[in-house]
Structures are given as structure tokens and as C-alpha cells.
A and B are shown apart, each in its own frame.
Chain A
Amino acid sequence: MTAEVGHFALILALMVAAVQATLPLVGAHRDNAEWMAVARPAALMQLVMVLISFGCLTQLYLSSDFSVLNVVQNSHTAKPLIYKIAGVWANHEGSLLLWVLILTLYGSAVAAFGNNLPPALKARVLSVQAMIAVGFYLFMLLTSNPFERVEIPPINGQDLNPLLQDPGLAIHPPMLYLGYVGFSMAFSFAIAALIEGRVDAAWARWVRPWTLAAWCFLSAGIALGSWWAYYELGWGGWWFWDPVENASFMPWLAGTALLHSSTVVEKRDTLKGWTILLAIIAFSLSLLGTFLVRSGVLTSVHTFASDPARGIFILALLVVVIGGSLTLYAWRAPSLVSTGVFQPISREGALLLNNLIMATATAAVLLGTVYPLLLDAVGGDKISVGPPFFNSVFIPLMMPMIAAMAVGPMLSWKRADLKPALTRLWAAMGFAGLVMLATWALVADGPFMGVIGIGLAAWLFAGTLSELAGRIRLLQVPFVESLRRLTRSPRATWGMTLGHLGLAITIAGMTGAGSWRTESIQTMKPGDTVSVAGYDFTFDGAEPGQGPNYSYLRGIFRIASDGKPVVTLHPEKRVYNVSKRPTTEAGIHSMFIGDLYAVVGDKDDATGAYITRLYFNPLVAWMWGGVLIMVFGGCLSLTDRRHRIGAPAGRRAAELARA
């Protein structure tokens, strides 16, 4: 019964979405207020229906209803409660349900809180949202129904892939989807603006918070995924340029560019066509990510569904959504008029440089991701594009951007002089130089790129701080006055400062972990000691035991530095009872200067020794710490006064009157 209720609610949601996709749009065209008003209740009704559907699927998982195929394939009665809940979205059908749930959540947020939006814009935005929803409802109902029953219910389920039974991965997909789907808001606003033929400062102010929220969620989601790979896959790596990772990284790059260009539209009324294009691209890449992961056109380590029928449907959806919006763009965008003019050396110029580099980086990642597919389609070799390509293209692209990033915020709008900006940065330059020298002295035998990476991070960090110091006129005015300026800074400015500081810290972490990692793989008998980067790992043997739905072998490593004990690590090797698949749980101790990381492997019965892998990963925790600071900065910027009170209605009305 529960399954049928959920299924039926999904069908009703499709019907409601179909109405919402058409009536308000036509109403906005004919200036019919009643038709436009349909959008609000329809959006809320969609949310209610999808909530019912999602609740039903969750209930089926909680009660382990094995008459439902999806539950059979992904659950088991012995599975801990949190993974029964996470199991709902840890599979193809359920993750789509989560996708539409988030889509309707965003849609109803506009419906409920968008009272200061002009009615026609609101109606159009909600219609476009509903069009996307129709596509996804159809996809689910026709090819991926999560409520499908099985004819003969088995006694127990097949359990969830053990790799996914992990707290980090339980919340990774919701975060990622909040980011992906969040870009649908910017997309809907962009399409509505193209239909209306008008983009202005008020439009940018409405789009910005949605983009910012999506960006925060996506950043957190990507960092979570990378953190999961770091401790769960047991290779000590944190980014593999895997197609699925790239699928989430490309919208992030495009979204970051959009975030910066929308500022220009808001403040300076220019770069309109470009900003609209970025909004379309950011969401298109989110959809493309879904396509790449779900259709099976690219094989990847963590693809959990591939089915040609689904692939064809998603491709058709892509062609309609992306092809349709780009056609509309080609038709309407040339008529968007920008009024702001600016010199190359100016805040606008710096933001445009950021945009160009971000767009190039996105294109490079896209090319690397789909190149194997392109080559195969023309009958070429089967190849895969790996980290060497991405590192050699991506890193050189990012270096000038980081260098320019410290300068950009110092430049004034419209026209700026490079010289005073650079003279304000002498301290940052000196700091970066000192840090590079110190790094070089510490790790002279490491790769020179590492020294450059740390230098760039120091440059960005110090440059951002000197911009802050200049803004509050530190040491130029009495300290109390500086403090007053500091506390009065708009939160959006704080967001920028924190975002850039966080990125500097993240870059330092990536550089450290990428350049100076120490690795030691060997067999160890209980009592053996191995020294890694100055830390003595003593292996005290391994003990077997039982978890809730797995059995484990838990190694014990006592770690000491200069004879003083530091920590004891307990890495595990688990074998899950149902699937018999092994997973590794690395033992990790995070410190300011780096992570101690131990993995225990199989026992050699002949000698009684265990295969062990021990690592020292320098600065790796900085990476996630930096992302946390970036996300915090984004959230702070979201609470900025101008978003809380919304766009000034009077000014918009005045502009309308003028137009």
C-alpha cells in the first residue's frame, strides 16, 4: 500500500508540474494575473506530493519491505538505522527522488518567499522550474520507478554496497544535489530574463543568493566526497580526476564564475549576456553530470547505475533543456543592452579575467572527461584520461588566477591604476617570498612546484589580509576607528575575504598533500616498528571482531615521535556479511602539520605477518579546513542586508517606468 501511495503521489506531482509549466507562462505573456497566480499553489503542491512520495520510500526502507525491488536491492534487515535512511538515496531511483525533492524545495521557496518579485518574472521562473521537474518525473515514472514491486518477495535484501555504508557518504549526495539543483534557480531566472528580454541590477540581486546557496552546498558536497575517498578508499589520495568527481567539479567551476560575474551585473550593469550564458552552463553541467553518471557512457569506479534506455532518455532530456535554452540564448541574448563601460584594468576587468580562466578550466575538465567518449565514437582507441592530463592543464591555468586574485579586490570599479594596488601588496609579496624560502629550506629535496604552490597560497592569504587592512585603514586612522570600520563592513565583503582566505588555506593543503607525502608499504609482524617521516609506527598486531553487519580485523598501531607516544591508530579491514565485499577503514590522526594514516591489509598465513600501508600526509587537513572557511564565508554573505531586505522595490519600479 505504502509503495502505491508513493507512486501515485509522484504521478500527481507530474500532473501539477505540467499545469505549472504552462499556465503561468502563458499568463505572463498575456498579462493575465489569475493564470500567473497558479504558479504559487502549484509549486507548493508539488512539494507536498514529492514529500509524500519520499516519505513513503523512506518508510519502505525503515520497515524493510522486501516486496519492493529497490529495497531488496539496497537494504537488509541487519543494516544500521542511519544506512537504512541513507539507503533511500544511495541508489539510482532513490537519488532521483531526492533530486526532484530538492528541486521542488527550491521552487516552493521562490513561491513562498518571492513576494517582492515582479509577478511576471515569478510566474516565468516557476514555469521553467516546473518544466525541468516534468522531465525528471517522466524519467522516473518511465524508466526508474523506485516503487516497483517484486513478484516473489525474498526473505531478506541484498544489502547496500559496503563502500556506501559510511556517515560521510550518507550526507554527501544530499549536499551535492542541493548544489546541483540549486543552479536550476539561476537557470530558471536566466531563461525568464531571456523571455522578458531584460537583465538588470535587481535581477542580479535575486539570482545571487540562490547561486551562492548552491555554491556553498556544492563546495561542501565536493569536500565531503573527497574526504570520504581519503579515509574510505584507503589509498591516502583525495582527488582522482575520476569522471564522477569531474561531474561535480565542472558545475562548481562554472558556478564560481557565475558568482563573480553576477556581481558585475548587479553593481555595474554590464557582462549581461555572459552572465546569462554562465547560468545556463552551470546548470547544464549539473545535468550533464547526472547524464554521465547515470547513463553508463563513461565507466567509472563509482557509477551505480547504467542502463541504455535510461541513457537515451537523459540524452533526450539534455537536448531539450540545454539545446532549447541555448537556442533561446542565441535568439534573445544579442538584444540585451549593457550600459556599464570599463577599462581592462579595473574591478570589472579582474572579474572578467577570473571568468575567462574559470571558463577555460571548465572547458579543459570537460574535454578531459569526455575525450575518451569522443575518441571511441569516431572509432579510435579505448583510452582513459588520467591525472597527468588534468594536472598539467589545470594547475598552470590556476596559477595566474591565484596571482591575480590578490590584486583584483584592490582595484576600483570602472578604471583603476595597477601601481598603487601593487604598492599596497609589497608586504604580501615579502611574506610570500619568506614562506617560499622557509619551505625550500625545509623540504629542499621535494618537487619545486610544491614551493611555488605554498608561495602562491601565502601570497593570496597575505594579499587578502592587506586588502582587508586597507579597507579598514589599519594604522592610518586610530585603532578604534579601524575596528569600527571592521564591524561595519557589509557581510558580503566579509564573505569575499573569507572565501579568498579559505581558498589560500585549501591550496596550501593540496600542495602539501600532493608534494611531500611519505608512503611506506611493507609486511609487518606484531612488534615490528617502521619509521615514516620521523614518526615510529609500532604494529601491536590485529584482532578480529564483529560489527553490526560486518566482521572486521582491527590493527593496532602505536605511534611515537622521538620516543614520546603520539597516538594509537586502529585501522580496520571489514568484510560485510551479505555481500562478502571487503572495505578498508583507514586509521587517521589529524594534526596541524599533517595526518598520520595507517591501513592494515591481509595476513600472510605462512609467516604471520600483515601487509600494512603507512603514510604521512602533510597539511592535508588544511584542505577541508579551507573549504569550511569558504563555505562559512558564503553563508555569511547570504545573510547580507541587501539579501535580507530584498531588492529595493521602488528602484525597480522607477526603472520600469523609465523603460
Chain B
Amino acid sequence: MQKRLFYLLPLAVFLVLALYFAIGLSRDPGVLPSALVDKPAPDFTLSPIEGGPGQRFSTADLRGGGVSIINVFASWCLPCRTEHVLITRLAKMNVAKVYGLNYKDRPQDALRWLAELGNPYAAIGVDPKGRVAIDFGVYGIPETFIIDNTGTIRYKHVGPITPEILNTVIVPIIKKVSQ
């Protein structure tokens, strides 16, 4: 009997592997979860765009003011341009405060970009060297963070927001987080 079990071993090992493959197939290998989800947002203080609108933007703005969104963008980033209209729409919904993080950009380019496409942001922090973005674990822009009333990161979206993602992912999560 024991000998029989020995001969069954290869089959058992394969079946376990196959089960894992089946689970693996149902997952998208392109999705990378953020290590910062459910962790407090890192401390930062950023100045506004030189010669631009608004005050400085810091961690304190994220606490006690309801749900906040941080959208990481740059004028040189083409996908940012395509999602900008949706960021604007999200800001107009008044479900969350939308902040901008201007990533590795030149002030004059960023101002021209805002003048052309409109400025939906409550405040914009400038991160010319990308230091704060590193703290946030940004590895490719655009990226969008959802932060709750206590200043805790609750969700991170990598890549441009599409109308579908806005309606089925971003807005429902904002509603859930704000309860």
C-alpha cells in the first residue's frame, strides 16, 4: 500500500500545481498592488507651482477634510492629458477633494497645460525631483490615490482613468471610504 502511495506522489504534486495555475489564470499579472494601501500617507510639504494658483499642499490637508484624491500628473505625460477631462468631472461631482501632484515638470509647462485644459485641483504640490512621489511608491504616471478622512491611503490606481474605471471603481470606493 505504501508503495502505491509513492507512485501517486507525482500526480499529487502536479494536481496541486495545476490548481495554482488555475487560480493564477484568473489574475491579471499586470496589476501590482501598492504596498502603501491602508497605511497613512507619507509626510510631505510641497510648494505650489511657481507663479501659479493656490497655497502650499501638505499632509495636513489630507486629514479631517473628508475623502481626498491625489492625482499625480505632468505636462509631458500623454495619458495624463487623456484622463484630465475625467479628473475634472470627478472634481465637479464634489464627492472628494481633488489634489494634484505635479511630477518632474517645469513650472511654465505645467501652467500652460492648466491654462489650456483647465484646473480642477483644490491645490497643486510641485515635486520637481520626484522625492515625494518616491515616498508614495509612484513608479509610472498617471497614478491616482484615494485617501480617507484620517489621512490613510485606501486605494491606488496606476495608469490613466477611463470613464469605466471612474464609474465602476473610483467613485464606488470613494463612497465606501467616506462612510
A interface with B by C-beta (< 8 Å): 273, 277, 280-281, 284, 291, 295-299, 306, 308, 311-312, 315, 318-319, 322-323, 326-327, 329-330, 333-334, 370, 373-374, 376-377, 382
Contact = CB atoms under 8 A, between A and B. Distances in A.
Q: Which of the listed residues A323, A329, A377 has the most CB atoms from chain B within 10 Å of its own CB?
A: A377
A277 B32 contact: no
26 contacts: A273-B7, A281-B10, A284-B14, A291-B21, A295-B21, A297-B21, A297-B25, A297-B29, A298-B29, A315-B21, A315-B25, A323-B11, A323-B14, A323-B18, A326-B10, A326-B11, A330-B4, A330-B10, A333-B7, A370-B17, A373-B24, A374-B20, A376-B24, A376-B27, A377-B23, A377-B24
Given A291-B21, A370-B20, A377-B24, A329 B29 contact: no
Interface string B1-37: 0011001101100110110111111010110110000
A377 B30 contact: no
A334 B21 contact: no
Contact of B18 (A306, A318, A333): A318
A298 B4 CA distance: 34
Q: Which of the listed residues A296, A330, A333, A382 has the most CB atoms from chain B within 10 Å of its own CB?
A: A330
Query: By DSSP majority rule, is chain A's interface helix, strand, loop, or mixed?
Result: helix
Contacts of B15: 323
A377 B20 contact: yes
Nearest to B29: A299
Contact of A319 (B4, B7, B8, B18): B18
A377 B16 CA distance: 12
A315 to B, nearest CB: 6
Contacts of B8: 330
Given A326-B10, A377-B23, 7 more contacts: A281-B10, A296-B29, A315-B25, A323-B15, A326-B14, A329-B11, A333-B7
A322 B33 CA distance: 33
A312 B29 contact: no
A311 B28 CA distance: 12
A277 B8 CA distance: 11
Interface in B31-64: 32-33
Query: By DSSP majority rule, is chain B's interface helix, strand, loop, or mixed?
Result: helix
Interface of B: 3-4, 7-8, 10-11, 14-15, 17-18, 20-25, 27, 29-30, 32-33
Contacts of A295: 21, 25
B4 A312 contact: no
B30 A299 contact: yes
Nearest to A374: B20
B43 to A, nearest CB: 25
Nearest to A363: B13
Contacts of A382: 32-33
Nearest to B11: A326
A281 B13 CA distance: 12
A143 to B, nearest CB: 14
Contacts of A318: 18, 21
Contacts of A323: 11, 14-15, 18
Contact of B25 (A312, A319, A333): A312
A333 B21 CA distance: 27
A308 B21 CA distance: 12
Nearest to B9: A330
Contacts of A373: 20-21, 24
Contacts of B4: 330, 334
Contact of B7 (A291, A298, A330): A330
Contacts of A312: 25
A487 B27 CA distance: 60
Contacts of B29: 296-299, 306
B25 A308 contact: yes
Contacts of A311: 25
Contacts of B10: 277, 280-281, 326, 329-330
Q: Which of the listed residues B3, B11, B17, B25 has the most CB atoms from chain A within 10 Å of its own CB?
A: B25
Nearest to A303: B29
Contacts of B32: 382
Contacts of B20: 370, 373-374, 377
Nearest to B26: A308
A261 B21 CA distance: 30
A299 B10 CA distance: 27
B18 A334 contact: no
Given A312-B25, A373-B24, A376-B27, A329 B7 contact: yes
Q: Which of the listed residues B7, B20, B21, B33 has the most CB atoms from chain A within 10 Å of its own CB?
A: B21
A374 B24 CA distance: 8
Nearest to B15: A323
Closest 10 CB pairs of A and B: A377-B23, A326-B11, A297-B24, A299-B29, A373-B24, A330-B8, A330-B7, A311-B25, A377-B20, A326-B10
Nearest to A315: B21
A586 to B, nearest CB: 29
Given A319-B18, A370-B20, A330 B11 contact: yes
A534 B81 CA distance: 52
Contacts of A376: 24, 27
B92 to A, nearest CB: 35
A148 to B, nearest CB: 23
Contacts of A374: 20
A318 B11 CA distance: 12
A273 to B, nearest CB: 7
Q: Which of the listed residues B4, B15, B22, B24 has the most CB atoms from chain A within 10 Å of its own CB?
A: B24
A377 B30 CA distance: 14
A280 B13 CA distance: 14
A330 B7 CA distance: 5
A315 B7 contact: no
Contacts of A297: 21, 24-25, 29
A370 B24 CA distance: 10
Nearest to B33: A382
Q: Which of the listed residues A297, A322, A334 has the most CB atoms from chain B within 10 Å of its own CB?
A: A297
B27 A377 contact: yes
Nearest to A324: B11
A336 to B, nearest CB: 10
Contacts of B33: 382
A273 B6 CA distance: 11
Contact of B14 (A273, A296, A322, A377): A322
Contacts of A273: 7
Nearest to A280: B10
